[in-house]
Amino acid sequence: MDLALPTEGLEKYHSRAQMARVATEAWAAANLFCVCCSSPRLTPSRVGFKVLDFTCPHCDGPFQLKSQSKPFGNRVLDSAYSAMIAAIISDRAPHLVLLHYSREAWSVVDLTLIPKFAISESAIEKRKPLSREAHRAGWVGCNIVLTRIPPDGRLAIIRNGIAERPSRVRRQFERIRPLARLAASERGWTLDVLNAVRELRREEFSLDEVYSKEQALASLHPANRHVRDKIRQQLQILRDKGLLEFLGRGRYQLVNQG
């Protein structure tokens, strides 16, 4: 994988933002591969698709590219709040590709892929409506809160200028792919409990330790009055999906990512 951004023809653009957009999209078209299948390339979408940037020519997997010169923090600016929530509920959201590039070296530094089924409603943060003076007064956008996405759902393709082998990235994707078979209405709870488990920072943990996250989970799901019951249910689902192993007597272990 060539990490250098293409620069040919960029001299005709006056804005560095335009240059970066053209360069990163051209780089992605030449280097991105599909994690859902064995396709070594993605196909750029037709001009005018606001959310969809690339599609896999073999499996039709949808991908959205977001690029910036600064490392991504805890939040990623996204589209309209209502549209994003509707896309998640209907399972129409694209896989998200986050590209961090160096403006000085004109090269890719980090590239992270977040499978579409790893983004739940809990990870979508509503922004304040635009002011009455704004061109789109009252429009409500959203942020994707990356810290509400389990680390299992943030797949590093390039880290600190070093590219992972596609085969390893695809293995990581396959490990969490069983979550895609859950109904979108149920998947949010599963992802939030998995994230709570990851926040314990322990390979082996107890049910009581997960219960310590009860208040945080309740705040994400205020309509649910039986949070502990839901936690136990989701731990069983995570076990059935191969992400956890039940050790007995209220103890669990994360399955090695491999």
pTM of the predicted structure, to 2 decimals: 0.93
Tokens 């996250």 belong to 213
Q: Which positions ≥6 away from 206 have C-beta within 8 Å?
A: 250, 251, 252
pLDDT confidence of residue 48? 53
C-alpha distance across the termini of the chain, in Å: 22
Question: What is the fold, at CATH topology level, of the domain defined by 182-258?
Answer: Arc Repressor Mutant, subunit A (1.10.10)
For the domain bounded by 1-176, which CATH number is listed?
A: 3.40.210.30
Q: Return the SS3 of 80.
A: strand
- Cα-Cα-Cα-Cα torsion 181, 182, 188, 193, nearest 10 degrees, comes to -100
pLDDT confidence of residue 14? 85
Strands (E), the chain: 43-44, 54-55, 62-68, 75-80, 95-102, 107-114, 124-126, 141-145, 155-159, 162-163, 204-206, 244-248, 251-254
pLDDT confidence of residue 239? 97
Locate CATH 3.40.210.30 in the chain: 1-176
In the DSSP assignment, the letter for residue 202 is: -
Q: What is the pLDDT along the chain (258 residues), one digit of tens a residue?
A: 899 999 998 889 889 889 999 999 999 999 999 999 999 999 998 765 556 799 999 999 999 999 999 999 999 999 999 999 999 999 999 999 999 999 999 999 999 999 999 999 999 999 999 998 888 899 999 999 999 999 999 999 999 999 999 999 999 999 999 999 999 989 999 999 999 999 999 999 999 999 999 999 999 999 999 999 999 999 999 999 999 999 999 999 999 765
Locate CATH 1.10.10.10 in the chain: 182-258
